[in-house]
Structure 1
Amino acid sequence: MSTSKPGVLPDDLVGHLSTPQAGRFLNLSSRTLEKHRTFGTGPVYRKIGGRVVYTVEDLLAWAERGARRSTTDPSADLVPAAKPLAPPQHPSRHD
């Protein structure tokens, strides 16, 4: 594990981060980030040569959406859970 000064990214977190690196940066599992990509609820990512990569700036911007000062703060910009929303329930039609 590398050590670094505060405010300086470790050598393995420079440029574009792979999913495992982004997960370590956010303290999330790679699988959680994969689910967020599937459901469109995660940070902005890029596909370069078939590989998924993230920038530190995009990860920080996404994480900042979840910043709160108390449990009563409005949740308009809540970072959603990595799970799909339940499909809307429609009344059955009997024509």
Structure 2
Amino acid sequence: MTPAHLAELAAELKVSVQTIYDLRSKGRGPHGFRVGTQLRFRKSEIDAWVERMEQADEQRHAGGAA
């Protein structure tokens, strides 16, 4: 499996590369690794990260519903 590049991930999510960096610096982004100077992400990690974000979003909205 080929790891995703940072630019590919940002394009897929329709956010800026800086947004991915910002999320990672806050501990809220996907786990990645470096190959030389390039930041890469395993597809399985991207999927797990998106699932964690979905669950957190559901919990936030469920807590506000009455």
Following superposition, which runs of at least 4 residues in structure 1 exceed 6 angstroms of deviation? none
TM-score normalised to structure 2 length: 0.71
Q: CA RMSD in A?
A: 2.4
Structure (1 or 2) with the larger CA radius of gyration: 1
2:7 corresponds, among 20, 28, 32, to 20
How many residue pairs were aligned?
Answer: 61
Structure 2 unaligned regions, length at least 5: none
> Aligned residues: percent identity?
20
1:72 aligns with 2:59: no
Please state how far the C-alpha of 1:69 moved relative to its aligned partner: 8.1
C-alpha displacement of 1:50: 2.2
If asked which structure has higher relative contact order (CA below 8 Å, sep 6+), I would say: 2
Matched position secondary structure for 1:71: helix
Unaligned runs of 5+ in 1: 1-13, 74-95
- Of residues 33, 42, 45, the one that matches 1:55 is 42
> What one-letter code is carried by the residue in structure 2 that aligns with 1:45?
G
Normalising to structure 1: TM-score of the pair? 0.53
Distance 2:27 2:59 in 1: 26
Letter in structure 1 aligned against 2:5: S
